[in-house]
Amino acid sequence: EDKVVQSPLSLVVHEGDTVTLNCSYEVTNFRSLLWYKQEKKAPTFLFMLTSSGIEKKSGRLSSILDKKELFSILNITATQTGDSAVYLCAVEDQGGSQGNLIFGKGTKLSVKP
């Protein structure tokens, strides 16, 4: 059965800390792994990863994929209170023309001032 497991489920840090969020997966026909930030309404897209070992970076956020070990990490450096959110990992498999997104349960990050 396809699955996506995120850890930790919740995390409390102080401003300025660096955090690493984990996502491991088991899917039959991997296409891509996506990270989302969810505060309100729709999750905001952060990264799409398709190739192993290539780091994607956006400001203080970065992410990398390991297709051999079947996991990805999302790093946030110098955290700010505005980083408080639920971070979702989703894996897309090759099923059908629209793909098939399988979501993890999310990591709830709280950044204290």
Partner 1 sequence: NAGVMQNPRHLVRRRGQEARLRCSPMKGHSHVYWYRQLPEEGLKFMVYLQKENIIDESGMPKERFSAEFPKEGPSILRIQQVVRGDSAAYFCASSPGLAYDTQYFGPGTRLTVL
Among 70, 71, 102, 110, binds partner 1 (CB under 8 A): 102
Contact flag: residue 58 with partner 1 (CB under 8 A): no
The answer to whether the CB of 109 falls within 8 A of the CB of 80 is no
- On the question of a cis peptide bond just before residue 8, with omega within 30 degrees of 0, the verdict is yes
C-alpha pair distances (Å), 64 with each of 11, 14, 57, 97: 20, 24, 9, 26
The footprint of partner 1 on residues 17-56 (CB under 8 A) is: 36, 38-45
Contact flag: residue 97 with partner 1 (CB under 8 A): yes
What is d(CA 24, CA 5) in angstroms, rounded to the nearest whole number? 5
Query: Least distance (Å) from partner 1 to the CB of residue 40?
Result: 5
Taking CB under 8 A as the binding criterion, the range among 17-25, 56-64, 66-74, 94-102 that sits at the site for partner 1 is: 94-102
Max alpha carbon distance in the chain (Å)? Answer: 45
Which helix (H) or strand (E) covers residue 4, if one does?
strand 3-7
Query: Least distance (Å) from partner 1 to the CB of residue 2?
Result: 9
Q: Of 63, 62, 77, 75, whose CA–CA distance to 32 is shortest? A: 63
Q: Which is nearer to partner 1, 13 or 102 (CB)?
A: 102
Taking CB under 8 A as the binding criterion, the range among 13-21, 23-31, 71-79, 97-105 that sits at the site for partner 1 is: 97-105
- List contacts with partner 1 (CB under 8 A): 36, 38-45, 86, 88, 90, 96-103, 105-106, 108
